[in-house]
Homo-oligomer: A and B are copies of this chain.
Amino acid sequence: MYLFLMRFIVKKWNKIYNMWVRKGKNMSKKYVYLFNEGNASMRNLLGGKGAGLAEMTNLGLPVPGGFTVTTEACLRYYEDNETLHPDIQKEIFDTLEKFEKSVGKKLGDPNNPLLLSVRSGARVSMPGMMDTVLNLGINDEIVQSLIKLTGNEKFAYDSYRRFIQMYSDVVINLPKSSFERIIDEMKENRGVKLDNELTAEDLKELVAKFKAYYKEAKREDFPTDPKKQLLTAAEAVFRSWNNPRAIYYRQMNEIPHEWGTAVNVQMMVFGNMGNDCATGVAFSRNPSTGENKIYGEFLINAQGEDVVAGVRTPMNMSQLKDVMPDVYAQFIDTAKKLEKHYKNMQDMEFTIEKNKLYMLQTRNGKRTAQAALQVACDMYDEGLVTKEEALMQIEPKQLDNLLHPTFDAKLLKSTKPLATALPASPGAACGQVVFTAESAVEWKNKGHKVVLVRLETSPEDIEGMHVAEGVLTVRGGMTSHAAVVARGMGTCCVAGCGDIAMHEDKKYFTLHGETIKEGDYISLDGSTGNIYLGQIATVPATISGNFERIMTWSNEFKKLGVRTNADTPRDAKQAKDFGAEGIGLCRTEHMFFDADRIKSMREMIVAKTVEQREKALAKLLPMQRSDFEGLFKAMEGAPVTIRYLDPPLHEFLPTEEKDIIAIAKELNITTDELKEVIASLHEFNPMMGHRGCRLAVSYPEIAVMQTKAVIEAAINVTKECGYNIVPEIMIPLVGELKELEYVKKIVVSTADELIKNSGLNMKYKVGTMIELPRACVNADEIAKEAEFFSFGTNDLTQMTFGFSRDDAGKFLKDYYDKKIYLNDPFQRFDQEGTGKLVEIAVNKGKTTRPDIKLGVCGEHGGDPSSIDFFHRTGLSYVSCSPFRVPIARLAAAQAAIRNK
């Protein structure tokens, strides 16, 4: 009993203590900043918009005054179960009072009313995702003051009705459509088409109708207290941080849910007070082409939402010169000032109130890839930015768009997609539908362009995927077999179109009511995931001079090498053209799926004795050797890392009854014998089965054959072309030193013998993939034998998380929805978990072999944020698919600049 009492007291005391600490902590925080108290460096606290407004204020630009409620207040709001703490409320009103004094207007003061805009603003721009309330502070009394002060009744009621509409939508969640219906009725009644054709009287009546509707829906009057309006609007903005489209946007753009949004409260200026007023948005340069010329639109006598709504056709910015030449000149000047200040192209919002320019927002402008390159090069040439700054302006992933053919944008405008699925591999594809890899090859050989449509693809489909313009799958995500292989090939792919009903056997599928048969044309847009019926013309990719210039600059700064994953001379050549410094991963098994080779491969698999197996391998040797000769020639002496056979052998065997019968016949064994082999190779978890170097341990003769192929090819090409070739032999899936020792011994004895006989003084390296957690924690041991490491981050991610790429798709969606994971760890490297194992491996590996070469192969090698991590972790190079090489080069340069 005594103990119980003690526990109770301790617990209570802890609670009180915690409350006290927390109160203390929060009380010392400043939650509200006047614009002139902030600056651009306070983006995390004030949000992008708030920091921008503060910075512009400090620069002396014409910014309507106001203040920002911080992102920390937003977090606190959620911490306090979605209530705004009284302390924060007080701070808002205290700041408001200071502000009111400075401008000489007052919220809710009929004599001199202050009207406010209340807008969201997160650390990074999330355009249109969160909420805004304009004209806040109006009520029946204030509207009369406005009329009196401006003498403009129409303006006053227009502002009032806009406020009621926005407030009801954003704060109260009343359906927008209800208000629009009321307006439409009114316009019909009056026989007018545009909102601004309504008279002051009409608008006054509209206000009354809106308020009546509000009362009916909410069973209370529209709030007349401007202070209450302000608080509820601020809360609504905080809440909008977690509306579904904002959450979705963050997932798409890898923005942490923990950041929160700020609220910007700003004095209203009015573009709708008459014909000496206007509102608009403009870029300091052309965001499509990058041309150094103001680009944007404005509307006379309007508020911001009208520009967006697109009811009236806005005017081009160049026309502002004619309409308001002074304001235009001031705007141009302001834009230049901002560009110079931010060292980047600006995207600005402005309002002109009675011929006076006000800046409402500035931010770095989004732009096309082509424009990004143009702007970066121009700004450097203009002396506005250094090379480093120019490079940092460009979003590496965007370069992808410059590397694939695209649909003619004009044609797309007039074509509705039949469906949209996952944009798995960019590019534009147009061709006739086929349903099997074999048909793809057949049709292609007859001169047709084909699009391969499959439930899902498997390694057996490689050849078909190679000849197809594009690939469409029913199942599978962004990292499914189809997606990964297609990206590797640079082939367009749209994946996971679950709405397709497949009738492969009858050679047709249905999708959203349409039936598409073999031979019908479809078009795929791999950048949007759109699927179109029929043919759409494409335009080839153009790589302008800017592109090369940026790549050259990248090479000046980057520390990481950039290699490519390539299995064929074609891919290797392509990657080399894109600047790859070597091959980081050649997957030898892809070479075995060709129709004329898979037979020998299968003979090897069904072999019952070492002799039979060696006989089959002997048939594969010349083929594999000639593959490597092709690669060595394509790479002209640059390093080539060759990974030995990796997948479980059952991947090479058929699964369908009819194929089994055919192949058994071909292999000259009975169907039962073949079935027995297939059954004996069946695995419960093939990802964790008999694969990687485990194959070489069980069947050393495979490693012998592969070593012969690599070394003989290197010898032949050295003799023929005189390159200094140093083949890098990579043993996959090693988890234990002795395992590597065993395989390396086989490699070395085979290789040394061949080299000795060749009379050359050829060097070669034997290294390993680090793709198992056990290899990471034992990297010091493994480095005793491994002359290099290459992190196989795909498998390492799978083993570290304990989920397989093929299966995780099913539940990862729940994880995103519940905000447990933000990103697909197979696309963006998991620095917090898997990264720790990589760090352990790097440190341990260097302990044993300080100069060990450390690479990354796998999808992450082409992902910019992952590349930043690999740079920081001290790796030597990344390796990625050919079409990602330019991205990786720029990302590597940015990583070096960012972490200098």
Chain A interface (Cβ < 8 Å from any Cβ of B):
4, 683-690, 694, 697-698, 733, 735-736, 738-739, 742, 761, 771-774, 777-778, 795, 798-804, 806-808, 810-811, 814-815, 818-821, 830, 832-834, 836-837, 840
Nearest B residue to A695, CB-CB:
B811
Which residues of chain B are near A837, meaning CB under 8 Å? 773, 777
Report yes or no: A686 in contact with B685, Cβ–Cβ below 8 A.
Answer: yes
Report yes or no: A778 in contact with B697, Cβ–Cβ below 8 A.
Answer: no
Instruction: State A643–B13 Cα separation when bound (angstroms).
Output: 33
Instruction: State A828–B180 Cα separation when bound (angstroms).
Output: 72
Q: List 9 A-B contacts (CB under 8 A).
A: A688-B688, A688-B807, A697-B814, A697-B818, A738-B820, A739-B820, A777-B800, A777-B833, A795-B802
Which residues of chain B are near A815, meaning CB under 8 Å? 697, 739
Which residues of chain B are near A773, meaning CB under 8 Å? 773, 799-800, 802, 833, 837
Q: A795-B802, A802-B795, A836-B778 are in contact. Are A821 and B688 (CB under 8 A)?
A: no
Report yes or no: A688 in contact with B739, Cβ–Cβ below 8 A.
Answer: no
Distance (whole angstroms) from the CB of A667 to the closest CB of chain B: 22
Report yes or no: A807 in contact with B690, Cβ–Cβ below 8 A.
Answer: yes
Which residues of chain B are near A697, meaning CB under 8 Å? 811, 814-815, 818, 820
Report yes or no: B742 in contact with A820, Cβ–Cβ below 8 A.
Answer: yes
Which residues of chain B are near A840, meaning CB under 8 Å? 777
Q: A684-B806, A685-B688 are in contact. Are A801 and B735 (CB under 8 A)?
A: yes
Which residues of chain B are near A689, meaning CB under 8 Å? 803-804, 807-808, 810
Report yes or no: B836 in contact with A777, Cβ–Cβ below 8 A.
Answer: yes
Pick the contact of A774 from B735, B777, B833 — CB < 8 Å?
B833
Distance (whole angstroms) from the CB of A797 to the closest CB of chain B: 9
Instruction: State A8–B267 Cα separation when bound (angstroms).
Output: 80
Instruction: State A771–B738 Cα separation when bound (angstroms).
Output: 25
Distance (whole angstroms) from the CB of A8 to the closest CB of chain B: 9
Report yes or no: A688 in contact with B836, Cβ–Cβ below 8 A.
Answer: no
Report yes or no: B820 in contact with A800, Cβ–Cβ below 8 A.
Answer: no
Which residues of chain B are near A799, meaning CB under 8 Å? 773, 799-800, 802
Which residues of chain B are near A795, meaning CB under 8 Å? 802
Report yes or no: B777 in contact with A814, Cβ–Cβ below 8 A.
Answer: no
Instruction: State A771–B840 Cα separation when bound (angstroms).
Output: 19
Distance (whole angstroms) from the CB of A755 to the closest CB of chain B: 15
Q: A774-B833, A832-B778 are in contact. Are A802 and B738 (CB under 8 A)?
A: no
Which residues of chain B are near A771, meaning CB under 8 Å? 802
Report yes or no: B739 in contact with A811, Cβ–Cβ below 8 A.
Answer: no
Which residues of chain B are near A811, meaning CB under 8 Å? 690, 694, 697-698
Instruction: State A815–B808 Cα separation when bound (angstroms).
Output: 31
Q: A694-B811, A773-B773 are in contact. Are A804 and B735 (CB under 8 A)?
A: no
Pick the contact of A684 from B694, B742, B804, B832 — CB < 8 Å?
B804
Determine the main DSSP class of A at the interface with B. Answer: helix
Report yes or no: B806 in contact with A685, Cβ–Cβ below 8 A.
Answer: yes
Distance (whole angstroms) from the CB of A481 to the closest CB of chain B: 10
Nearest B residue to A814, CB-CB:
B698
Distance (whole angstroms) from the CB of A724 to the closest CB of chain B: 12
Residue among A685, A694, A804 with the most chain B CB within 10 A? A685
Instruction: State A821–B734 Cα separation when bound (angstroms).
Output: 13
Q: A778-B833, A814-B697 are in contact. Are A684 and B807 (CB under 8 A)?
A: yes
Report yes or no: A807 in contact with B735, Cβ–Cβ below 8 A.
Answer: no
Instruction: State A803–B771 Cα separation when bound (angstroms).
Output: 12
5 cross-chain pairs, A with B, having the tightest CB-CB distances, nearest first = A688-B804, A773-B773, A774-B833, A777-B836, A685-B804
Report yes or no: B735 in contact with A833, Cβ–Cβ below 8 A.
Answer: yes
Starting from the known contacts A689-B804, A774-B833, 14 additional A-B residue pairs (CB-CB under 8 Å) come to A684-B804, A684-B806, A685-B686, A688-B803, A688-B807, A689-B807, A736-B821, A739-B815, A739-B820, A773-B773, A774-B801, A774-B834, A777-B800, A778-B832
Nearest B residue to A738, CB-CB:
B820
Distance (whole angstroms) from the CB of A477 to the closest CB of chain B: 13
Nearest B residue to A648, CB-CB:
B807
Nearest B residue to A802, CB-CB:
B772
Distance (whole angstroms) from the CB of A233 to the closest CB of chain B: 30
Distance (whole angstroms) from the CB of A839 to the closest CB of chain B: 9
Instruction: State A820–B733 Cα separation when bound (angstroms).
Output: 14
Nearest B residue to A733, CB-CB:
B802
Q: A697-B814, A778-B833, A837-B777 are in contact. Are A735 and B802 (CB under 8 A)?
A: yes
Q: A736-B821, A772-B800, A799-B800 are in contact. Are A687 and B686 (CB under 8 A)?
A: no
Report yes or no: A819 in contact with B738, Cβ–Cβ below 8 A.
Answer: yes
Which residues of chain B are near A736, meaning CB under 8 Å? 820-821, 833
Which residues of chain B are near A774, meaning CB under 8 Å? 800-802, 830, 833-834
Which residues of chain B are near A686, meaning CB under 8 Å? 684-685, 807
Instruction: State A201–B22 Cα separation when bound (angstroms).
Output: 105
Which residues of chain B are near A810, meaning CB under 8 Å? 683, 689-690
Q: A773-B773, A774-B833, A834-B774 are in contact. Are A798 and B738 (CB under 8 A)?
A: no
Instruction: State A834–B775 Cα separation when bound (angstroms).
Output: 10
Nearest B residue to A688, CB-CB:
B804
Residue among A689, A697, A821, A840 with the most chain B CB within 10 A? A689
Distance (whole angstroms) from the CB of A486 to the closest CB of chain B: 19
Report yes or no: B688 in contact with A802, Cβ–Cβ below 8 A.
Answer: yes
Q: A735-B833, A801-B772, A802-B795 are in contact. Are A688 and B690 (CB under 8 A)?
A: no
Nearest B residue to A680, CB-CB:
B810
Which residues of chain B are near A772, meaning CB under 8 Å? 800-802
Instruction: State A815–B743 Cα separation when bound (angstroms).
Output: 12
Instruction: State A733–B735 Cα separation when bound (angstroms).
Output: 22
Nearest B residue to A820, CB-CB:
B738
Instruction: State A799–B775 Cα separation when bound (angstroms).
Output: 11
Distance (whole angstroms) from the CB of A856 to the closest CB of chain B: 18
Instruction: State A771–B773 Cα separation when bound (angstroms).
Output: 12
Nearest B residue to A776, CB-CB:
B773
Which residues of chain B are near A694, meaning CB under 8 Å? 803, 811, 814
Nearest B residue to A687, CB-CB:
B685
Instruction: State A804–B686 Cα separation when bound (angstroms).
Output: 9
Distance (whole angstroms) from the CB of A1 to the closest CB of chain B: 12
Residue among A686, A778, A815 with the most chain B CB within 10 A? A815
Instruction: State A9–B668 Cα separation when bound (angstroms).
Output: 57
Nearest B residue to A835, CB-CB:
B777
Instruction: State A739–B802 Cα separation when bound (angstroms).
Output: 14
Instruction: State A833–B739 Cα separation when bound (angstroms).
Output: 14
Which residues of chain B are near A808, meaning CB under 8 Å? 688-689
Distance (whole angstroms) from the CB of A121 to the closest CB of chain B: 26
Nearest B residue to A778, CB-CB:
B833
Distance (whole angstroms) from the CB of A424 to the closest CB of chain B: 18
Instruction: State A742–B738 Cα separation when bound (angstroms).
Output: 42
Instruction: State A689–B667 Cα separation when bound (angstroms).
Output: 36
